[in-house]
């Protein structure tokens, strides 16, 4: 079983749509959780950290469910510029062991 699993998509949505991605992790001792976005042929860039109480940044909302070992990302009012691959990243332990999910490809269409 992979340490971090994501639905690879692709998700094709119209502008203005709301879209949600989920990510599950296998190690219950995992400590920190992040969502990154990666554009084609670019490096991953931090979108947001995920906190236990859930957190929001503009149109983006991240949630963590430790009991079920999943994190989610909700994007409201999708923009064309949101088209990218969204990567779930989990820090497994104190040893800075960071693992990526396979990424979910999102395309927002006019």
Partner 1 sequence: DTEVTQTPKHLVMGMTNKKSLKCEQHMGHRAMYWYKQKAKKPPELMFVYSYEKLSINESVPSRFSPECPNSSLLNLHLHALQPEDSALYLCASSQAGAGGGQPQHFGDGTRLSIL
Interface residues toward partner 1, by CB under 8 A: 31-32, 34, 41-46, 49, 51, 87, 89, 91, 94-103
The whole-angstrom separation of Cα 12 and Cα 39 is: 16
Shortest separation between residue 2's beta carbon and partner 1, angstroms: 10
80 DSSP assignment: G
Decide whether 2 or 109 has the Cβ nearer to partner 1: 2
Longest dimension (CA), the chain: 44
Shortest separation between residue 60's beta carbon and partner 1, angstroms: 15
């Amino acid at each position: 079983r992979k340490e971090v699993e994501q639905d690879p998509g692709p998700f094709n949505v119209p502008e203005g749509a709301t879209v949600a991605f989920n990510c599950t992790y296998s190690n219950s001792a995992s400590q920190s959780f992040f969502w990154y976005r990666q554009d084609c042929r670019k490096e991953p860039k931090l979108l947001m950290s995920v906190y236990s109480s859930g957190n929001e940044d503009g149109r983006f909302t991240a949630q963590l469910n430790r009991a079920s070992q999943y994190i989610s990302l909700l994007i409201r009012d999708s923009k064309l510029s949101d088209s990218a691959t969204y990567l779930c990243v989990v820090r497994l332990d104190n040893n800075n062991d960071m693992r990526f999910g396979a990424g979910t490809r999102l395309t927002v269409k006019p």
